Structure 1
Amino acid sequence: MAGSSNCDAVDMAAGGVGGAKLLQLLNVRVEGSGEQVVVLSHGFGTDQSSWNGILPFFVRDYRLVLYDLVCAGSVNPDRFDFRRYATLDSYVDDLLAVLDALHVDRCFFVGHSVSAMIGILAAIRRPDLFLKLILIGASPRFLNDGDYHGGFERAQTEEVFLAMESDYEAWVQGFAPMAVGVDVPAAVQEYSRTLLNMRPDISVFVCRTVFNSDLRGVLGLVRTPCVVVQTAKDAAVPLSVASYFKHHLGGNTTVEHLPVEGHLPHLSAPAVLGQVLRRALASPR
């Protein structure tokens, strides 16, 4: 890892927290050895522990940067600024500030779900920083819109928000198995744990932010090579979304179809996903 710290990016991140404090706030850690850096960024309802099953595949050959999104239950909820994190842009600020604080000047980025979109926005802003984006369970728009099939109608999402607000624990008990999408009790238990670790009002707010996001219009600005990883059946992301990425991302894009089900293959099928990630990282394009 080399390069100089970008103080402006660090100052913007997490409400103006400096570099060292930001790394502490977001529980940043670096694992493994090797010259090439791989950033692992988790999705909604999880934290960096969701990558634990993936780490053994990479710690020998890569330097892995892990951190928690500021909304994760593992981060002090008092540091979550509802005004600041009303869009994905401030999450992008955090990511870039973490990399600058660690003096990372080139890296691979692996992002799950909403973090995949955070990675896309970061690569548009700082294209020279990213060698490749690997996007797992990604979607530029979760809502249906005309000919675009994102998977959800707005009325459905409002029902989700209402259920979360009325009885968060009951909602988690129903949502976690549906999201995992396969009978892997350990994965359901782990996803339930990290969802319940989130403060309910933050969880609802972030969920609204994700569902209200629409990044379709910026996909053509991406110049970084991308690998879209799509499971055979994902309750949150229809198969058609992977095809949409293939045709609308501006960089060279390939699609990897995993022969497993569910939205969280790093929890439910880490060995299968690990093989795909290793192949994606080793490929020159």
Structure 2
Amino acid sequence: MVTPEKKNLSTALNARTIQSSSLGTETIILCHGFGTDQSIWDKIIPLLLAENYSIVLFDWPFSGAVEDKSLYEHSKYTSSFESYADAFITVMDEMGLKDIIFVGHSMAAMIGCIASTQRPNLFKKLVLLCASPRYINDEDYEGGFEREDVEQLISTIEVQFEDWVSAYAPIAVGPNDSDAVDKFGSCLKNMGAQVAVSLAKTVFHSDNRKILQNVETPCTIIQSSNDAAIPVSVGHYLERMIKGVSALKFIDMTGHFPQLTAPHKLAQLLKAVVEFGHPQI
């Protein structure tokens, strides 16, 4: 059963709740990351519904799936993730949700961390999936990119968008799953070049390390063992720096999208988070 939400921002961002025939006792919200939309979770939704969880999804304003393109205000969303956290809190309030299990992929993980410091009652647990607080290397911090690499990346998106999508999608997803690569590439193209440039600047220039010391909601950090965008050291950094209780788990896989290329492994970990508070497998 799919229940669309009929209120304001949640409607504009395609928010919806999916429930199995048996009403679930736990609510999991799946938040997509850079360049995608809620359809990125299509493979994992049936696996979670089989456990009788209630699933909540929505699209961020930058998503190509959002019809009202004016919702992505460049001046509002390019400075930091704070505006995204505000939008998330608004959607949750409109849907009347609290005590959720938040699963944030990529940039959405840091948005969830920020929102948890502002409205902790909304969250029961945080799952940070392929998350990074900062992508640019900084002294003894390994983010994975030099600043000049990021500037070159942004320049390529700006002047060679189609070529960049074709090259970046298999790097991000992993080259051995053509359907998943096509899925991510299609989402990137739907987002469009102008938004992609703006969003890339926001994401790759972001530095959310300081927020980690304020995150008290219990966290499970799930990282890919071979992610071109995020070194394994970032997972250990998150576990070390988050103030509250945290646990780190690596999925043995290549790429940045376990929901596309390792959905069964990810669903197993999420079930463990729901039942035990952290993976015990």
Partner of 1:70: 61
Contact 1:182 1:268 in 2 (8 A): no
AA of the residue aligned to 2:75: R
Q: Which residue of 1 aligns with 2:13?
A: 26
Aligned-residue Cα RMSD (Å) equals: 1.1
Q: Paired residue for 1:81?
A: 73
SS for the counterpart of 1:259 is strand
Distance 1:137 1:244 in 2: 13
Match of 2:28 in 1: 38
Alignment length (residue pairs): 267
The ranges of structure 1 where at least 4 consecutive aligned residues each deviate by more than 4 angstroms after the TM superposition are none
TM-score by length of 1: 0.91
SS of the counterpart of 2:7? helix
Q: CA deviation at 1:196?
A: 0.5
Aligned equivalents of 1:145 and 1:279: distance in 2? 34
Paired residue type of 1:110: V
Structure 1 unaligned regions, length at least 5:
1-18
> For residue 3 of structure 2, what is the aligned residue in structure 1?
none
Q: SS where residue 30 of structure 1 aligns? A: strand
Q: What code does the residue aligned with 1:178 have? A: I
2:122, 2:230 → 1: CA distance? 28
Rounded Cα–Cα distance in structure 2 between residues aligned with 1:250 and 1:201: 37
CA-CA distance at 1:167 after TM superposition: 1.4
- The 1-side partners of 2:39 and 2:210 are apart by 32
Give the Cα separation in 1 of the matches to 2:60 and 2:71. Answer: 11
Q: Residue 220 of structure 1 aligns to which amino acid in structure 2? A: Q
Query: Partner residue of 1:7?
Result: none
Q: CA shift at 1:77, angstroms?
A: 2.1
Structure 2 residue ranges without an equivalent (≥5):
1-5
Q: Which amino acid counterpart does residue 81 of structure 1 have in structure 2?
A: E
Query: Counterpart in 1 of 2:128?
Result: 135
* Distance in 1 of aligned mates of 2:193 and 2:220: 33
Identity of aligned residues (%): 39
TM-score by length of 2: 0.93
Whole-angstrom CA distance in 2 between matches of 1:59 and 1:176: 28
Q: Which residue identity lines up with residue 92 of structure 2 in the other structure?
A: L
CA distance in 1, matches of 2:203, 2:29: 21
What's 2:154 paired with?
161
Q: Which amino acid aligns with 1:54?
A: I
